[in-house]
């Protein structure tokens, strides 16, 4: 026992930075950072999309991010569509309808996702219910300034 202690004594860590006055400041900074991340452009979505593709017409670029898991896993997910024009400008004021569909088995789900615009070309699609593992497609129609569609598929574990 003593040989463990005598050989390599733990270095003395100077805790003065975390003295009684500094701790609340440290927490405030951490909380501030968390709030910044929470309200940032990605609002809890991963920085990078799990899928990026071109719409059926070829006029729109679509990127998908998901939470709580990316890519979406079995259960209920929220998926953010980020839609930009060919020149990379955010396209707002579109109306999206999203239908999850399992092509190999020829069925969708009984749950209709809710779509809410989030600005900067973002559209948050909540209540995306994927009840079983396998390949799921997001059959999406886009209307408004652009009338378009897209269907991206991904594997659900």
Residue 30 as a binder of Cu ion (CB under 5 A): the answer is no
Q: Which helix (H) or strand (E) holds 43?
A: none
Measured in degrees and rounded to the nearest 5, phi and psi for residue 98 equal: -125, 125
CB 91 within 8 Å of CB 105: no
Residue 105 as a binder of Cu ion (CB under 5 A): the answer is yes
Q: 60, 63, 83, 102: which one contacts Cu ion (CB under 5 A)?
A: 102
Of residues 122 through 141, those in contact with Cu ion by CB under 5 A are: 132
Name the E strands within the chain: 51-54, 60-67, 75-85, 95-101, 114-119, 122-130, 134-143, 148-156
Residue 28 as a binder of Cu ion (CB under 5 A): the answer is no
Residue 29 as a binder of Cu ion (CB under 5 A): the answer is no
Using CB positions, name the residue nearest to Cu ion: 105
The nearest distance, CB 131 to Cu ion, in angstroms, is 8
* Binding interface with Cu ion (CB under 5 A): 102, 105, 132
């Amino acid at each position: 026992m003593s040989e463990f202690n005598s050989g390599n004594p733990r270095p003395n860590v100077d805790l003065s930075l975390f003295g009684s006055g500094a701790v609340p400041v440290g927490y405030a900074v951490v909380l501030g950072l968390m709030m910044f991340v929470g309200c940032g452009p990605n609002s809890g979505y991963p920085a990078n999309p799990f899928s990026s593709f071109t719409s059926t017409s070829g006029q729109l670029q679509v990127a998908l991010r998901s939470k709580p898991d990316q890519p979406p896993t079995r259960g209920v997910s929220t998926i953010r569509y980020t839609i930009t024009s060919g020149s990379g400008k955010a396209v707002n004021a579109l109306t999206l309808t999203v239908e999850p569909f399992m092509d190999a088995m020829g069925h969708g789900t009984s749950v209709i996702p809710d779509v809410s615009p989030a600005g900067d070309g973002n559209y948050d699609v909540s209540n995306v219910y994927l009840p079983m593992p396998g390949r799921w497609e997001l059959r999406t129609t886009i209307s408004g300034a652009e009338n378009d569609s897209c269907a991206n598929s991904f594997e659900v574990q």
